[in-house]
Chains A and B, each alone.
Chain A
Amino acid sequence: QSALTQPASVSGSPGQSITISCTGTSSDVGRSRYVSWYQQRPGKVPKLMIYDATYRPSGVSDRFSGSKSGNTASLTISGLQAEDEADYFCSSYTSSRTLVFGGGTKVTVL
């Protein structure tokens, strides 16, 4: 049950687009449709931003989008805003019938 691999930090200026990668294996991200992304602001509870790799829950800004190719999933934030500054975690269902999270990526708005 190794954690999914995410960059420790990503930064961008307001209005720019950034992409966070989440790399797993053929036992998790590569074979599962159940890939999710969560936003966690400091001192707050995680919030679901993307599910099934590409779907946005109702109420989540359309500036957030998800994609998946092979063993890597990605979260793109377009039109970066100060309120997007947070930690972002990916997760995937695995072939072992477990859930695995990524180590998290700190997004900084410059």
Chain B
Amino acid sequence: EVELVESGGGLVKPGGSLRLSCVASGFVFSSHGMAWVRQAPGKGLEWVSSISGSGTDTYYADSAKGRFTISRDNARNSVSLQLNSLRAEDTAVYYCAREIAASLTEIDSWGQGTLVTVSS
């Protein structure tokens, strides 16, 4: 069974940084792209970033470019999202998600999410 467990969320001041982590189990990690998707309170889903199974290709939403960095460690079955220069509008639950294929296509599994709150 696919399991994705996120950690690292919390309260941070505007302009601050946070590193989100996700540990995966139950599947061949390197065979799947991984993504981060966020959901602001009471709002819809917003794709943030993805990384290919090998880690060589990364993709970002415009809202994340230049501020967020996705990375993965296939030896540890983990994917991370470094969040810098955080803004109030980045407040959301951040979901770690598995993609169906090795590269960016569709998401088929989701973690429980970790809440990031940006506030002074």
Contacts and interface: CB of A to CB of B under 8 A. Distances in A.
Chain A contact surface mostly: strand
A89 B62 contact: no
A23 B78 CA distance: 34
A104 B59 contact: no
B88 interface: no
B106 A104 contact: no
A56 B59 CA distance: 27
Interface of A: 1, 3, 34-36, 38, 40, 45-48, 51-52, 57, 87, 89, 91, 93, 97-104
B4 to A, nearest CB: 9
22 contacts: A3-B44, A34-B105, A36-B107, A40-B45, A48-B107, A52-B106, A89-B44, A89-B45, A91-B107, A93-B106, A97-B104, A98-B61, A98-B104, A99-B35, A99-B104, A99-B107, A101-B37, A101-B44, A101-B45, A101-B46, A103-B44, A104-B45
Contact of A93 (B95, B104, B111, B113): B104
Interface of B: 35, 37, 44-47, 50, 59-62, 95, 100, 104-113
B20 to A, nearest CB: 16
B44 A99 contact: no
**Which of B61, B62, B105, B109 is the most central at the interface, judged by chain A CB atoms within 10 Å of its CB?**
B105
Contact of A91 (B59, B60, B61, B106): B106
Contacts of B60: 98
B45 A98 contact: no
B100 A51 contact: yes
